[in-house]
Structure 1
Amino acid sequence: MKLPLRFPRTARAGLLAVALAVCGAPAHAGPSLSPAIAKAFEPPERSAECFDIAHAHDKPEAWLCRINPSSRTAPSFVLFGDSHALQLLGAFDAAARQAGRSGVFTGYSGCVPLLGVYPLTRPDQAVRNCAALNLRMLDHVGRSGIKDVFLVAKWSYYTDMWQGTSYLNAIGLAPGEEVSVRNSRRAFEQGVLDTVKAYRALGVRLHIVPQVPQQMLAPEQAYTRAMLEQDGAAARLRALSVPRARHAQLQAFAGSVFARAVGGDAVRIMNFDDLFCDAEVCLIGTPAASYYQDPSHLSGDGAARLVPALARALSAKGPTSR
């Protein structure tokens, strides 16, 4: 009788390691993440309702979403921007409830909320026209008694190559311009100046929110690695988080442009780096909560860290020139 082939235990372990390296580990091989961690990787609840609304730039109605919709007060502030603004919608809801105010929100993916600039690489402008939406928001603010405008975006997405690749979500001062970092930065700088000037002329208070730190790994990967053992998970998450110096380098150009645009009480830069970063790293999260949905966007738990500062901004005395 032919006996089945057997291997010593150490040999079997070695063969398993080789098989996993070649074929990949089965889906259940990694640690089981807690429901709270897993939920962080889901999109915001109101994404479909409030963001990337087709023809928001020209449809007569239903192009804006209410912030703190249960409030009886008229909307008095605007949240506007790309997908990074969407990630803060829940935080603004909470802050508005604390401050006793309501607002409105809209935005398009990959559309920088700056006046006078045009996307150079996007084929979707008939449906989601970035430049037209920026103009429409300015007009809405001028006619609606809005007191505060919050601009939120992944600013380096329009001024630098994406994550070490050759892709640039280029913008220009006119359609059809050269696609290059140099030209995109020129348009960005002029767009910031024009946007600040236009909103300042309306007498509103403009709040510019610099981008949050961009992580090096997808949070799912980071947590799968870090949670292999509970002991030491916090230290492993820290080791997998982006260095603060790298974050500072990525937002250096946009930050220098914003710094030149600040003037008096009319323009405020709301930098939240200290909520996520110490002197060395910008944390991706803790063993109990991921601050990120993906490498670039905050999760609900991450955005919630901004609520106290947003509530203070909404509670502050508004401009008196209107």
Structure 2
Amino acid sequence: MPQDRADFRPDLEGLRGLAILLVVLFHAEVAGLAGGFVGVDVFFVLSGFFITGLLVREYANEGTVDVPAFYGRRALRLLPPLFLVLLATLAAVMWLWAPIDRAEIASSARAVALSWGNVAFASNAVDYFGSRENPLLHTWSLGVEEQFYLVWAPLVLVVALLAERRRAAVGGERDAGLAKGLLAGFAVLGVASLAGCIWLTRTAQPWAFFGTATRLWEFALGGALAVTIDRRAGAHAFGTVLQVAGLVAIGVAVATYDRITPYPGTAALLPALGAVALVLGGRVAPESVVSRALGARGLRWLGRLSYAWYLWHWPLVGLGAVLHPDLGVGGRLAWSAAALGLAWVTYTFVERSARDGQLARIPTHWLPGAALAASVGAALVAHGATRVAERQASRPDQRAFAAARDDRMRHECWASADRAAVGPCVFGDTSSRTTVVLFGDSHAEHWLGALDRVGRERGWRIALMVMGGCPVADMPEQGGTRAKRSSACARHREATIQRIIAMRPTAAVLSSWDHYVPMKGRPTPWQVSSDVWEQGLRRTYTRLAGAGIPIAVVRGTPRTWFDVPACLSRRAASLPFAGECTYDRAASLSEVAASAQTAAARGLRVRIVDMNDQICATPRCGVVRNGAIVFTDDNHLTASFSRSVAPVFGARLAAALGELGARLP
């Protein structure tokens, strides 16, 4: 939200510039800034501060808050740039995105136009950190912002009227009564919101992340500042200390948080309180070195463009990734820089027009109706695009690609950080007394199609035990890293190993994604070194093999580095820049991880089964084999392909486990 001019503070305009820079660099995946998404939390605190101050000043000057006029002014500031970007993005999607992906994006555009995008993302359980193919995903924060406006103006007005009634009854200063009433309201609302945020982060994380109710505490922090900050006094040095502490808090969050940090939860307190410290400290020490740094011309310029840049940067990065699937950090930064140019144009000709140009001349009483009409109009356009996209995806030449995107086994057997698998998780010949356990992460699960068929044909009962993102490697070294999810994974792994040992199955099949280990270079925050990986695998192999259970370990499968169904869909539609849907076998398989796996199994009752010749046996690999599309994305096998290689998989498993003395029919 653009900063209002009343009581203008250059340091806060610069803080907005710093926050948007963090978000953009995070989306560009710049090393060391994995927690840059916390810039949005800074924006929420600032919005609470600015909006509360605006409403309180209006009540002080006018004796009331014109809620419809407030809504109209907010709509005039936010909606013209939003709808410009929304419609431009929708046009690009309907032209350049894979036909099978257009309907979902257009549907989200419809929700965004109605200020409901965040709710739609939460309802669909979208993973913000793992669903970057949607160029409108970033608009969730606009939905939160707009819903915050709906709540905040009536809240301030009601509290003001109650405070005025109390003042009339018992006396006292008008402003003091209002401030106390608002602080009490913000405290109750903030505590309830934060409690819900912490609880939902554990039980329904998408609702905690995207929900307005679970973010109101951040706005409440800003609101509390707005009604108390002028009453604060302190030494210049104290203000500087606060500002430095605020920068450190935000910096620590940026440097130590990542995509597997349970968020927002308690983790969001650090950047939010950091923003509070910067706002308060800058008020106490307006001439401090931090205030001058934040008020520097470059950061202030970014702050003025922050709203438009936020809107434009993610769709352009998404466009770059569609046209060039191997887009790296440099490419994402280049597209973000192009978005900054569009942001300047949007700010100059749209945002400024809303503030003091042609758009600002629209009568205030027309604004709510005009905003509603524009929202409905944009939603109707998006609805029409959704229907067109659905027809495109249902064409005979596209159906197979759409089906591949969802071609996985249907079950409720996924364990997660907050719950065990629902079950029953038994496949194959469920009545057999020969039990084979399939244990690992999603790269173990994508062999379920094959093992289910093998079990039916050979008389094996298949017991599935999987947790997404949780490898079989026992790595206590991760406990001190930024992989916050490792503790939940460790609990699941330990419980599963104990369960397998207690079951005494005929054999166990283990598999994990290879890319927990970098193919080259240093590990990223969620990866480990090859030595740690080898030692972790060996610990797990030793425990299971030492319990007398024959172990077959499946080699990691290729990573194509591009979304396979989308590539095939674009290729079939003859879209611009639609390349060959092939990949280099050597670049797709991790020799580092394979070597560590071999070393971990050495000397144990463990055999390694390699199926990669069935996926690709040539230097250059296609993505359709045995009449089936091989991948659902860029690394998971489709259930159809997995089933197609079941005869070979079953024979190799039986041979490997037979060498270990497993009695398999």
5+ long unaligned stretches in structure 2: 1-87, 96-101, 103-387
Question: C-alpha separation between the residues in 2 aligned to 1:122 and 1:96?
Answer: 36
The structure where helix makes up a greater share of residues is 2
Which residue does 1:82 correspond to in 2? Answer: 441
The structure where strand makes up a greater share of residues is 1
Question: C-alpha separation between the residues in 1 aligned to 2:661 and 2:93?
Answer: 62
The aligned amino acid for 2:425 is: C
Per-residue Cα deviation, 1:146-170 (whole angstroms, up to 9, x for no partner): 12111121122x11179x9995423
Question: C-alpha separation between the residues in 2 aligned to 1:213 and 1:276?
Answer: 8
Which residue does 1:65 correspond to in 2? Answer: 425
> What TM-score do you get using the length of structure 2 for normalisation?
0.37
1:140 aligns with 2:209: no
Which residue does 1:110 correspond to in 2? Answer: 469
Question: C-alpha separation between the residues in 2 aligned to 1:312 and 1:208?
Answer: 14
Which residue does 2:634 correspond to in 1? Answer: 295
Which one scores higher on RCO, CA 8 angstroms, separation ≥ 6? 1
Which residue does 1:177 correspond to in 2? Answer: none
Question: C-alpha separation between the residues in 2 aligned to 1:146 and 1:98?
Answer: 19
Per-residue Cα deviation, 1:87-124 (whole angstroms, up to 9, x for no partner): 22222111111110102112211111122444643444
Describe the shift of the 1:43–1:53 C-alpha distance in structure 2 as closer, same or farther (beyond 3 A): farther
Describe the shift of the 1:309–1:204 C-alpha distance in structure 2 as closer, same or farther (beyond 3 A): farther
Which residue does 1:13 correspond to in 2? Answer: none
Pick aligned residue for 1:222 from 552, 567, 584: 567
Higher Rg of the two aligned structures: 2
Task: Report the alpha carbon displacement of residue 244 of structure 1 after superposing the two structures with TM.
Answer: 1.2
Question: C-alpha separation between the residues in 2 aligned to 1:321 and 1:277?
Answer: 29
The aligned amino acid for 2:402 is: A
Q: Single out whichever of 278-287 and 189-198 deviates more from structure 2.
A: 278-287
1:310 aligns with 2:649: yes
The aligned amino acid for 1:121 is: R
Provide the secondary structure at the position in 1 that maps to 2:551. Answer: strand
Per-residue Cα deviation, 1:154-195 (whole angstroms, up to 9, x for no partner): 122x11179x9995423xxxxxxxxxx5xx433212112212
Which residue does 1:12 correspond to in 2? Answer: none
The aligned amino acid for 1:145 is: R
Task: Report the alpha carbon displacement of residue 25 of structure 1 after superposing the two structures with TM.
Answer: 3.8
Which residue does 1:101 correspond to in 2? Answer: 460
Which residue does 1:244 correspond to in 2? Answer: 585
Question: C-alpha separation between the residues in 2 aligned to 1:279 and 1:312?
Answer: 22
Describe the shift of the 1:83–1:321 C-alpha distance in structure 2 as closer, same or farther (beyond 3 A): closer
Which residue does 2:256 correspond to in 1? Answer: none
Question: C-alpha separation between the residues in 2 aligned to 1:198 and 1:279?
Answer: 37
Describe the shift of the 1:108–1:64 C-alpha distance in structure 2 as closer, same or farther (beyond 3 A): farther
Aligned residue pairs, count: 274
Provide the secondary structure at the position in 2 that maps to 1:268. Answer: strand
Pick aligned residue for 2:92 from 17, 20, 23: 23
1:169 aligns with 2:526: yes
Task: Report the alpha carbon displacement of residue 85 of structure 1 after superposing the two structures with TM.
Answer: 1.8
User: Would the aligned equivalents of 1:161 and 1:168 in 2 still touch at CA under 8 Å?
Assistant: no
Task: Report the alpha carbon displacement of residue 71 of structure 1 after superposing the two structures with TM.
Answer: 2.5
Which residue does 2:600 correspond to in 1? Answer: 261
The aligned amino acid for 2:558 is: P
RMSD: 3.5
User: Would the aligned equivalents of 1:80 and 1:105 in 2 still touch at CA under 8 Å?
Assistant: yes
Pick aligned residue for 1:121 from 466, 482, 485: 482
User: Would the aligned equivalents of 1:79 and 1:104 in 2 still touch at CA under 8 Å?
Assistant: yes
Task: Report the alpha carbon displacement of residue 313 of structure 1 after superposing the two structures with TM.
Answer: 4.5
1:196 aligns with 2:544: no
User: Would the aligned equivalents of 1:101 and 1:314 in 2 still touch at CA under 8 Å?
Assistant: no
1:42 aligns with 2:401: no
Pick aligned residue for 2:518 from 160, 164, 168: 160
Which residue does 2:622 correspond to in 1? Answer: 283
Provide the secondary structure at the position in 1 that maps to 2:470. Answer: coil
Question: C-alpha separation between the residues in 1 aligned to 2:522 and 2:598?
Answer: 28
Provide the secondary structure at the position in 2 that maps to 1:107. Answer: strand
Describe the shift of the 1:261–1:64 C-alpha distance in structure 2 as closer, same or farther (beyond 3 A): farther
Question: C-alpha separation between the residues in 2 aligned to 1:271 and 1:223?
Answer: 27
Question: C-alpha separation between the residues in 2 aligned to 1:303 and 1:289?
Answer: 9
1:51 aligns with 2:424: no
Provide the secondary structure at the position in 2 that maps to 1:114. Answer: coil
Question: C-alpha separation between the residues in 1 aligned to 2:495 and 2:434?
Answer: 16
Q: Single out whichever of 264-273 and 311-320 deviates more from structure 2.
A: 311-320
The aligned amino acid for 1:241 is: T
The aligned amino acid for 1:225 is: R
Task: Report the alpha carbon displacement of residue 24 of structure 1 after superposing the two structures with TM.
Answer: 4.6
Per-residue Cα deviation, 1:22-58 (whole angstroms, up to 9, x for no partner): 83544568784343332111052424x11134555xx
The aligned amino acid for 1:67 is: F
Provide the secondary structure at the position in 2 that maps to 1:150. Answer: strand
Describe the shift of the 1:37–1:206 C-alpha distance in structure 2 as closer, same or farther (beyond 3 A): same
Which residue does 1:187 correspond to in 2? Answer: 532
User: Would the aligned equivalents of 1:241 and 1:284 in 2 still touch at CA under 8 Å?
Assistant: yes
Task: Report the alpha carbon displacement of residue 136 of structure 1 after superposing the two structures with TM.
Answer: 1.8
Per-residue Cα deviation, 1:196-252 (whole angstroms, up to 9, x for no partner): 2212211111111122111132113321233247xxxxxx98x4211012123xx11
Question: C-alpha separation between the residues in 2 aligned to 1:273 and 1:281?
Answer: 13
Describe the shift of the 1:121–1:82 C-alpha distance in structure 2 as closer, same or farther (beyond 3 A): farther
Give aligned-pair identity as a percent.
23
The aligned amino acid for 1:160 is: P
Describe the shift of the 1:221–1:279 C-alpha distance in structure 2 as closer, same or farther (beyond 3 A): same
Describe the shift of the 1:262–1:54 C-alpha distance in structure 2 as closer, same or farther (beyond 3 A): closer
User: Would the aligned equivalents of 1:73 and 1:102 in 2 still touch at CA under 8 Å?
Assistant: yes
Task: Report the alpha carbon displacement of residue 75 of structure 1 after superposing the two structures with TM.
Answer: 5.5
Which residue does 1:233 correspond to in 2? Answer: none
Question: C-alpha separation between the residues in 2 aligned to 1:122 and 1:78?
Answer: 27
User: Would the aligned equivalents of 2:550 and 2:662 in 1 still touch at CA under 8 Å?
Assistant: no
